[in-house]
Structure 1
Amino acid sequence: MLGLYLKNPGEIELKEFSSSSLKEDEVKVKLIYGGICGSDIGVYKGKIGHAAYPIRPGHELLGTIIEAGKESVHQIGTKVVIQPNSFCGECDLCVEGKTNICRHKQSLGVNTDGGFSQEFVISSKYVLPIPREMADERAVLIEPLAVIVHAFKKAAITKGTSVAVVGCGTEGMLAIALAHYLGAEITAIDINEKKLEKAQRSWGITPARPQDIKDETFDVVIEAAGVKSSVEQAVDITRPGGSVVLVGLTPEANLPVVKIVRNELTLYGSIIYHFPDDFLQTLHYLKQDGFKVEPIISDIIPYQEYKRAYEAAVSGEYGKIILDFKEESHS
């Protein structure tokens, strides 16, 4: 079977992999779509310290089960998405239900082989069946949207809540989409005019560059840019008693402790999701006709054109780039 192979940062190729035999609890999945994520770009560029090389990339995965081990509860032919972060179930954090920060967590495409291949094998405990009738273009967004669903559980966002989303990459756009669906009043902040225009056109939000925000403050600020200045601004523009939810990853930032204390601001760190709960909630949202996520995907590119797909994803000028592994698309 063919799959992508990242020898070293920046050195990616398409190569033949041997098929793996199944353990009793595993399933073999034939890939339909694979989304290129910010962490995939980070591994590709050599910017994630715990990444391993060589590695097969890919963790936003949608496919169909084509083989199932004896202990798998999932049947052949089931359409599925993948939870790509392992958890041991035995460490103190897992026992507390915090499987997203398991002390022994490994992540597909980062420090263990991912799924950007025609077929891949994974434990059935990391597989979620989804309705066959759900459009593939919505289903492939379940994993990245689950990140936002998890983050939104930290702060109350309902009709009329004033929300600022800092950073309009994929996770920022997904945050805008969910906040819009929940009836929030949204301001999107980014330095990229094209992304702001797309967010305004798609969801009718208020666009702003960082320097445009003067004295305005917000009930909830979602930081999805992952840069020092954005984290600092996120805290600065949160109203007294408000909440900041940090989704982006930046090594450090300078925070005004006196302001945080005097204004009783609440800062939440939010990493990935709980499985299956956050995935099931995400699936519920995606089943709703009024939940608009179509603008998130910028292009769907055959996996054989992986170089073009990665160039587009790395450029930062596009939304979500999807690799298409459906063979009928390439015949």
Structure 2
Amino acid sequence: MKAALLTDIETLSVAEVAKPVPAAGELLIRVKLAGICGSDSSLFRGKCNVPFPVIPGHECVGVVEEINAPGSRFVVGQRVVIQPNLACGTCTMCLKGLKNVCRSKVRLGIDRNGVFAEYVTVPQSYVWNIPDGLPDEVAVFAEPLAVARHGLDFAVPKKNDRVLVFGAGVIGQLVLQLALLTTRNIVACDLSDSRLELATQSGARSVKGCERLSDDCQAGFEIVFETSGSPAALSQAIDLVAPGGTIVLFGLPAAGHEIRSDVIVRKEIRILGSIIYVDEFPTVIELLANGRIATAPLISDTIDLEGLAENLHNFYQPNRIKTLVRIENR
């Protein structure tokens, strides 16, 4: 099969490799459309500390091609999306229902070959059927939308809550749209004019740079969703959140920073971390199928597999939201 093979740091090429064979309990998925994520960029730049070679990619929509699981709930030809973080299911964290922080978690596209290829194998328990009427270009957002939805489960905005979405990349845009389902009082903050324009079109009041939020800071925000990963973001969020408010952290900064515990205590702030997802996929597939989330404005570009290396080289472009990769051209 054809696949994008990462053989060293920033060394990726399209090559012919062996088509994978599904192990017991697995499905062979023919990949149709994939999405590029920030973790793909981190892997490309050598920040994930995993052995090469590997086929990257973990966001995709595809078709069941082969089933190696007697009595499977799937049939050949079904369109599906993949939940790409594979927990062990037996450790203490998994038994507590915290599969997202399983210490033995296997990450598709990092620890095992991923979806930037014509075929991928996945355990059937991590595959989800999608409705016939749900377009591929919408269904491919199931994974990042699950990330966003998991974080909102920690702090669902009430009707009159003031909400700040810090960072207007793809996760920020999806968090914004989810928050808009329950409140209209939302501010989006970013340094990119095009991302702020998109947030404004979605219904937020957008601000370029959080230093311009002094007026709102007087009362503060009941909820701050930090999606940027900026090293200064947490400190700014602590300033901007209202007393008794909640900060939900999605972003992973490259380096740690001091925590202003005195302000946290005096304002009685809750700070929560949110990493990937647990069981949000059925919910987000329904949201996408019902048209509750607008994905078309989030697509910056659609490329072929041959354009992946150049796209990863230029990943940090301010106009980028989500780039899709067309794997199957038929």
Say yes or no: TM over 0.5.
yes
Q: Deviations over 1:126-155 (max 9, x none)?
A: 101111210111100000110010000111
Could you say which residue in structure 2 is the equivalent of 1:255?
259
Could you say which residue in structure 2 is the equivalent of 1:55?
54
Hey, what's the Cα distance between the residues in 1 that align with 2:252 and 2:84? 18
1:243 matched to 2:246 = yes
Hey, what's the Cα distance between the residues in 1 that align with 2:203 and 2:140? 20
Hey, what's the Cα distance between the residues in 1 that align with 2:327 and 2:158? 38
SS of match in other structure, 1:76:
coil
Q: 2:243 touches 2:267 (CA, 8 Å); kept in 1? A: yes
Could you say which residue in structure 2 is the equivalent of 1:110?
110
Identity of aligned residues (%): 32
SS of match in other structure, 1:177:
helix
Which amino acid in 2 is paired with 1:5? L
Could you say which residue in structure 1 is the equivalent of 2:194?
194
Q: Deviations over 1:168-194 (max 9, x none)?
A: 111111111211233341111112222
Which amino acid in 2 is paired with 1:139? A
Hey, what's the Cα distance between the residues in 1 that align with 2:99 and 2:247? 23
Q: Deviations over 1:251-295 (max 9, x none)?
A: 312222111111110000110000xx3111111221223432322
Hey, what's the Cα distance between the residues in 2 that align with 1:247 and 1:47? 18
Hey, what's the Cα distance between the residues in 2 that align with 1:211 and 1:103? 39
1:221 matched to 2:224 = yes
Unaligned runs of 5+ in 2: none
Does the C-alpha gap of structure 1 residues 118 and 244 become closer, same or farther in structure 2, counting only changes over 3 Å?
Answer: same
Hey, what's the Cα distance between the residues in 1 that align with 2:259 and 2:24? 50
Hey, what's the Cα distance between the residues in 1 that align with 2:291 and 2:69? 37
Q: 2:188 touches 2:207 (CA, 8 Å); kept in 1? A: yes
Which amino acid in 1 is paired with 2:236? Q
Q: Deviations over 1:206-246 (max 9, x none)?
A: 33312111152101000111121112111211000100000
Could you say which residue in structure 1 is the equivalent of 2:87?
87
Which amino acid in 2 is paired with 1:295? P
Q: 2:5 touches 2:54 (CA, 8 Å); kept in 1? A: yes
1:268 matched to 2:268 = no
> Aligned pair count?
325
Could you say which residue in structure 2 is the equivalent of 1:137?
137
Does the C-alpha gap of structure 1 residues 204 and 228 become closer, same or farther in structure 2, counting only changes over 3 Å?
Answer: closer
Q: Deviations over 1:92-136 (max 9, x none)?
A: 010111111111012112222211101111111110111121011
Could you say which residue in structure 2 is the equivalent of 1:65?
64
The 10-residue stretch of structure 1 (81-90 or 193-202) with the greater mean CA deviation from structure 2? 193-202
Could you say which residue in structure 1 is the equivalent of 2:99?
99
Residue 311 of structure 1 and its aligned partner are, at CA, apart by 4.1
Hey, what's the Cα distance between the residues in 2 that align with 1:312 and 1:141? 21
Hey, what's the Cα distance between the residues in 2 that align with 1:77 and 1:304? 26
CA RMSD between the two structures: 1.6
1:321 matched to 2:320 = no
Which amino acid in 2 is paired with 1:236? D
SS of match in other structure, 1:254:
coil
TM-score, normalisation: structure 2: 0.94
SS of match in other structure, 1:228:
coil
Could you say which residue in structure 2 is the equivalent of 1:24?
24
Select which of 232, 235, 240 maps to 1:232. Answer: 235
Summarize the alignment of residues 150-165 of structure 1 with structure 2, pairs less than 5 Å apart: 150-165=150-165
1:293 matched to 2:263 = no
The 10-residue stretch of structure 1 (299-308 or 232-241) with the greater mean CA deviation from structure 2? 299-308
TM-score, normalisation: structure 1: 0.93
Unaligned runs of 5+ in 1: none
Hey, what's the Cα distance between the residues in 2 that align with 1:166 and 1:237? 11
Does the C-alpha gap of structure 1 residues 37 and 132 become closer, same or farther in structure 2, counting only changes over 3 Å?
Answer: same
Q: 1:181 touches 1:291 (CA, 8 Å); kept in 2? A: no
Hey, what's the Cα distance between the residues in 2 that align with 1:239 and 1:319? 29
Q: Deviations over 1:8-64 (max 9, x none)?
A: 12101001111122223111111111100010011111223x333221100001100
Hey, what's the Cα distance between the residues in 1 that align with 2:184 and 2:224? 12
Does the C-alpha gap of structure 1 residues 239 and 263 become closer, same or farther in structure 2, counting only changes over 3 Å?
Answer: same
Hey, what's the Cα distance between the residues in 1 that align with 2:178 and 2:31? 27
The 10-residue stretch of structure 1 (15-24 or 98-107) with the greater mean CA deviation from structure 2? 15-24
Q: 1:313 touches 1:320 (CA, 8 Å); kept in 2? A: no
Could you say which residue in structure 1 is the equivalent of 2:174?
174
